[in-house]
Amino acid sequence: MLEKIQNLIDEVKALHAKNAEEAESLRIKYLSKKGSISALFDDFKQVQPELKREVGKKLNELKTLATDRINELKESFAQQQNASTGVDLSLPGTSYVCGGRHPLSIVKNDIIEIFSRLGFTVAEGPEVEDDWHVFTALNFPLEHPARDMQDTFFINTNPDLLLRTHTSSVQVRMMEKQRPPIRAVFPGRVFRNEAISARAHCIFHQVEGLYIAKNVSFADLKQTLSYFAKEMFGADTQIRLRPSYFPFTEPSAEMDVSCSLCGGKGCGVCKGTGWLEILGCGMVDPAVLEANGIDSKEYSGFAFGMGVERIAMLRYQVKDIRLFFENDVRFLQQFKSAY
Ligand code: PHE
């Protein structure tokens, strides 16, 4: 037995292979379950007890030697292959960059989420609209300046079609298809023919809100918007409603929130006033309800509309609105963990 082992040791020491396949067949010949070394381990059971120690030692020596030698052969072929293909399979892979949400989507989703807690559903309308949904049904007089070419992008081939200038058009679409009670928000992209600057863009986003039911009052509007402001900008946030004018609401107001940066004391962002304007709102004008087939004696409602860019600029201290549309990854990367 010892002699047999010694012969195999000599044999294994001299092993050679021309390629990876040959090395593998050597492994099978010596080390597989039916291989010659494994066979010796079977024979080992018959060895006389007093010899077991010596034979066992030798047998283990053979096995280690064979394993090492065959692995060595195999590795040499693997390295040769790397060298010939130029690929080192042992290198770590290149990591790829994961995308993140756009800051405007983060803010839009937050706005929707806050209103959904109050039972508001979400609806959308078309970006290419007709005059009725954007202006006429919303009580815009024919000579209103918003209808002007200066403000509105019209579609050349059809003067009745235009790019919506506000998401209030979706109020009309909602009233057409659903009877009160209505409680919904409408996020979307809007277009205005404005010179592009750090503060204005010809494309931006709004979230509109509409609530129509019996006995809806201005107090409901104020409480809803106060809740929104505190959820969005922090529990200490105060709101201020200033009288304003929109053709489709009466009375109308613009809402300011206390500047979260200086806590209302006055700073560069709020231009020393302590207040930041974030939205327009008001009670739905009875004429709008009637134009959309809703009995204004039975129902009342409120509406509001806010600019998503404006809120994102305040929240993230972005000084130039154009950054939102340039898709510069250095800018966008900063918002990766923000959702
Ligand atoms: N549509 C108005 C705007 O774009 C905002 C608004 C919406 C005002 C709803 C009142 C009610 O400025």
- In the predicted model, what is the mean pLDDT of residues 28-52? 86
Q: Residue 339 pLDDT > 80, yes or no?
A: no
pLDDT at 230 over 60: yes
Name which residue sits closest to atom 10 of ligand 1, judged by CA.
281
CA-252 nearest atom, ligand 1: 10
**pLDDT band, residue 31 (cuts 50/70/90):** confident
Indicate the pairing of strand 203-213 with strand 300-307: antiparallel
Question: What confidence score (pLDDT) does residue 130 get?
Answer: 96
For ligand 1, atom 12: residue with the closest CA: 280
Task: Provide CB contacts within 8 A for 141, sequence distance 6+.
Answer: 247
Q: Does the pLDDT of residue 183 top 60, yes or no? A: yes
User: How does the average pLDDT of the chain come out, rounded?
Assistant: 91
Q: Which helix (H) or strand (E) element contains residue 184? A: strand 182-191
pLDDT single digits (tens) 147-179: 877 789 999 999 899 999 999 999 999 999 999
The H or E element containing residue 47 is none
Compute, in angstroms, the gap from residue 252 CA to the centroid of ligand 1.
9
**What's the mean pLDDT in 312-319?**
91
Ligand 1 atom at shortest distance from the alpha carbon of 209: 9
* CB of residue 303 inside a 6 A radius of ligand 1: yes
pLDDT value of residue 41: 85
Nearest CA to 301 out of 205, 186, 195, 224 is that of 224
Query: Each residue of 81-103: pLDDT tens digit?
Result: 777 777 788 888 888 877 889 99
Instruction: Specify the ligand 1 atom closest to the Cα of 280.
Output: 8
Q: Evaluate: CB of 307 within 6 angstroms of ligand 1.
A: no
Residue 279, token pair as written in the block: 């939205």
The answer to whether residue 144 scores a pLDDT higher than 90 is no
At residue 12, the pLDDT reads 83
59 in helix, strand or coil? helix
Burial class (CB in 10 A: 0-12, 13-18, 19+), 179: exposed
Q: What is the mean pLDDT of residues 103-123?
A: 97
| CA angle, residues 300, 306, 312, in degrees to nearest 5 | 155
Task: Give residue 309 CA to ligand 1 midpoint distance, Å.
Answer: 15
For residue 337, the model assigns a pLDDT of 63
Does residue 336 have a pLDDT over 80? no
pLDDT for the residue numbered 2: 81
Report which of residues 98 and 230 the model is more confident about.
230
Minimum-distance ligand 1 atom for the alpha carbon of 171: 9
Q: Is the full-model pTM beyond 0.85?
A: no
**Gyration radius of the chain over CA positions:** 38
Gap between the Cα atoms of 260 and 315, Å rounded: 9
Return the residue whose CA atom lies nearest to atom 7 of ligand 1. Answer: 305
Per-residue confidence (pLDDT) for residue 270, from 0 to 100 = 86
